Structure 1
């Protein structure tokens, strides 16, 4: 289980990440690209993963990490239930999402183990 505050702290720990409103959610960006959004009311995050990463993270438990159920999901957008995900798995997924959209020089600073 990951709290809203823990999610925010992890997301903002990546270099050059900013947080700003995005419709009714908070968006976490590197440059102008969003790598995660946070829906505080639903305790759910949405991450921009590659299709391969989306599939791999979803293998753990499809009720915890799963594609957004529309065309956005086919583009790698993946929902994460914060009340159910382990902190280490969320950290790895957020790292993958950051690396997916960050400039190469920034993404290379973070490796997923």
Structure 2
């Protein structure tokens, strides 16, 4: 069972990640925000591609659900930390982090 401390530790271990307040949440970002942690530490919102979101929500509906409205249609997905193993949390963070990295310069 994962928790907020696991999320912080794993997110900070991803290269280039910074942590900062974001409204009533804590955001983790590289070039862009890829995950936010709720103030109560029970849930996190991950930025997945729509395909990743669909897969996660289908595979583990007890742990993942789209954020309501337009944010959810963009791939933002709420994860219930207590419903994930640490390995599942690590994979979710790595997937979200990949999309937040700066794009390589075209030559």
Q: Could you tell me which residue of structure 1 aligns to residue 72 of structure 2?
A: 73
Q: Indicate the structure whose relative CO is greater, using CA pairs within 8 Å and at least 6 residues apart.
A: 2
- Does the 8 A contact of 1:4 with 1:40 survive in 2? no
The 5-angstrom pairing of residues 1-113 of structure 1 reads 1-31=1-31, 33-41=32-40, 43-104=42-103
Length-normalised TM-score, structure 1: 0.86
Do the aligned partners of 2:24 and 2:39 also contact (CA within 8 Å) in 1?
no
Q: Over aligned residue pairs, what C-alpha RMSD do you find? A: 1.3
For structure 1, the 5+ residue unaligned runs are 106-113
Q: What is the Cα deviation at residue 77 of structure 1?
A: 0.2
Deviation per CA, 1:19-70: give whole Å up to 9, x if none.
0000011000103x10000004150000000011111111222121111021
CA distance in 1, matches of 2:98, 2:70: 22
Distance 1:89 1:99 in 2: 16
> Could you tell me how far apart the structure 2 residues matched to 1:83 and 1:8 are?
14
SS in structure 2 at match of 1:63: coil
Number of aligned pairs?
104
Gaps of 5+ in 2: none
Question: Normalising by structure 2, what TM-score?
Answer: 0.90
